Structure 1
C-alpha cells in the first residue's frame, strides 16, 4: 500500500503527531561518521566548491553542479558507510545533495593511492552486471574520473536496492586519489546525473528487471520508504556530552527526527528542477539587514562553506571583519567578534549561522588570522554547505519539491 499521500501531508504541516507516525512506519537511518583524519582546509574547500559547480574555470552552463571533486587536502568531514554487491563491499561515501551519481573506485584503479581506498571487486559479487558503457567526468582544470558503468545491489541503513546503476572508477586524478572518502553517494535529482546507459532496454534484459539510474530515483520508484523525504542532521560538536542519540550526524530516510530541531519546519519551494535550490529573501548580520544580498541558494551537504556571488561575498566578508589575501583568500582575525549571528531570511522566517562558525582554522602564513567560512563564486547562485546545515536541520521533500528548515536543538 502506498503511504506517500498521507505521510507527505505530515511533512507539509510538520506536526509532531504526524512525524512520530512516520517514524513508526519504518523510516531508515544512516549514521554520518566523522573523518578521524580530518584537517580543516578552508582554501581547499573553497576551491572544491568552485570546481564542483564549474566556476573555477567558468565552465558552460550545462556543466553546472556536476560530480564533486575533493581537493588534495583531507578535508572531508562527514561520510556514510554504504554497501555494494552480494555480499556487500563497504565504502566510505560522501553523502552529497549537490550531485546525483553514485560511484566508487574499481580494482582497475591501480594507482598506489587508489589502493589505499576501498575498491569494488566484481569477482566478489554474485549479483553484479558490468556494462561496456564508458563513463567519464571531466572538469575545466583537467581533473577527471573515468571508467565504466555497472549494476549491482545497493545497501545503506536498512534499505536495499536490487539493480542500482553506478560508476566504477578505473582512473582518478590526484584530487580524488588524495581524498579520504572512497567515492560519492549523490542525492540530487536525476536530471543532474552524468551516468547514461547506451542501451537501457538491453541492460534491463540482462538484469531481468528495471534499473535505477540515481539513488534518489531508486528510493522513490521502489517506494522503499514510508514518505518521499529525508532529513539531515550534522553534529556541531557542542551538544550535551550525554546526548543519547550520539554520533556525528545522521541522514534519516522516510521521516525526520523532531528531537534534532526547535519549533516547526518551514518548507521552501524548489526554484530549479535539478537542484535543492531555494530563494533567499535577505541577509542580516547581528539583526541588521545587509542591503543587496538576496537571490537563490543550493542546500548542499557536499559543500563545506557559505558561498556567495563575488560582490555579495565581498560585502559579507567586509561586514564580519575579513579581508582578501592574494594568496590565502578571505581571512579575518582569529579573535574577531564571535558573538551574534549571520541570519538568512527564507520563506519569511530567519535561519541563523553563529558568528563563531564563520571563523575557521588558523592561517599558517599570517599569524593571528583565520580563514573565513564565507567565500566567493563568479556564479549568481549561493551555496549553503555544512556551515549552514550544522546550524539548521534540513529536510529534503521529493514529492513536494521543497526543502524544510528549522534551527537545530542545541
Structure 2
C-alpha cells in the first residue's frame, strides 16, 4: 500500500507539481532498508502497534460524497469514523496485509475461492483476482460479457441489483453494485449502458 500527498479519486490522482517521495506502509524489511512502520515501532513512537485508515466514500458517478480525501492514524484508530466494534482477522501467508477469504457469493451462487488470500490494499479501487475467480464472479452477474480483446476483462450493465458478498473472519460484507460496475468506464451498446467490471484479472499476470 502506498500513499502520497494529493487528491486521489476513483478515477485519477491529482498530485502536486513536486512530490518528494512515496511512503509504502510495508512492515517486512527488504535488504538493508527498514520500513517506516518498523522505525516507529522500534523507537516506541506508536501507542499501539496499529494503523487506522479511513477513505471518503464516493457516489456512483465517482464524486466524493463529502469533503474529498481520507485520514491515516498511526498508533490507533479514529473512533469517530465507524460504529460498533472492530473485528480482527489474523494475517496469513508471507505478504503483509494478506488475510484469508472466508467466502464469496454472487446472488445465490457460491464462488470457489480455494482457500484464497486477499491483500487489503488502499492503492486501487479494483478487485484483482486470478482469471478463474474473475470469470466465476463476473459470469454469475446477469448480462455481464467478457471481452477477449481486452485480456479477458468483463463489462456489466451499469445498473443492477445483484448482491455480491465477501466474508473475512466472522463478518460478511455486501459490495454495492455501483462499486462493482465502474461508472467512470461506461460504454453505450445496443443492449444499453455497460460499465467495466471492478473484478478483473491483472494485466500481464501469469496467474491462471
Alignment of 1:263-274 (within 5 A): 263-274=84-95
In the other structure, the counterpart of 2:38 is 217
Deviation, 1:33, is: 4.7
Deviation, 1:327, is: 3.4
Please say if 1:254 is aligned against 2:67: no
CA contact (8 A) 1:32 1:250 kept: no
In the other structure, the counterpart of 2:177 is 355
Alignment of 1:58-73 (within 5 A): none
Deviation, 1:379, is: 3.2
Q: Residue 237 of structure 1 aligns to a residue in which SS? A: coil
Q: TM-score, normalised by structure 1?
A: 0.42
Deviation, 1:261, is: 2.1
Higher helix share: 1
In the other structure, the counterpart of 1:160 is none
Deviation, 1:333, is: 2.0
In the other structure, the counterpart of 2:96 is 275
- CA distance in 2 between partners of 1:235 and 1:350 (Å): 21
Deviation, 1:213, is: 2.0
Please say if 1:292 is aligned against 2:112: yes
Highest RCO, 1 vs 2 (Cα 8 Å, sep ≥ 6): 1
Deviation, 1:296, is: 1.1
Distance change in 2, residues 1:31/1:256 (3 Å): farther
Please say if 1:345 is aligned against 2:183: no
- 5+ residue gaps, structure 1, are 1-29, 41-74, 80-91, 93-116, 121-182, 198-211, 381-410
Please say if 1:331 is aligned against 2:155: yes
Distance change in 2, residues 1:327/1:284 (3 Å): same
Matched residue pairs, number?
192
Q: Residue 344 of structure 1 aligns to a residue in which SS? A: strand
Q: Residue 41 of structure 2 aligns to a residue in which SS? A: helix
Q: Residue 48 of structure 2 aligns to a residue in which SS? A: coil
- Moved >3 Å (runs of 4+): 30-33, 238-241, 362-367, 377-380
Distance change in 2, residues 1:374/1:222 (3 Å): same
Q: TM-score, normalised by structure 2?
A: 0.77
In the other structure, the counterpart of 1:185 is 23
In the other structure, the counterpart of 1:76 is 13
Please say if 1:379 is aligned against 2:207: yes
Q: Residue 278 of structure 1 aligns to a residue in which SS? A: strand
Mark the structure with the bigger radius of gyration. Answer: 1
Alignment of 1:165-180 (within 5 A): none
- CA distance in 1 between partners of 2:71 and 2:124 (Å): 16
Alignment of 1:48-63 (within 5 A): none
Q: Residue 304 of structure 1 aligns to a residue in which SS? A: coil
- CA distance in 1 between partners of 2:134 and 2:10 (Å): 24
Distance change in 2, residues 1:249/1:260 (3 Å): same
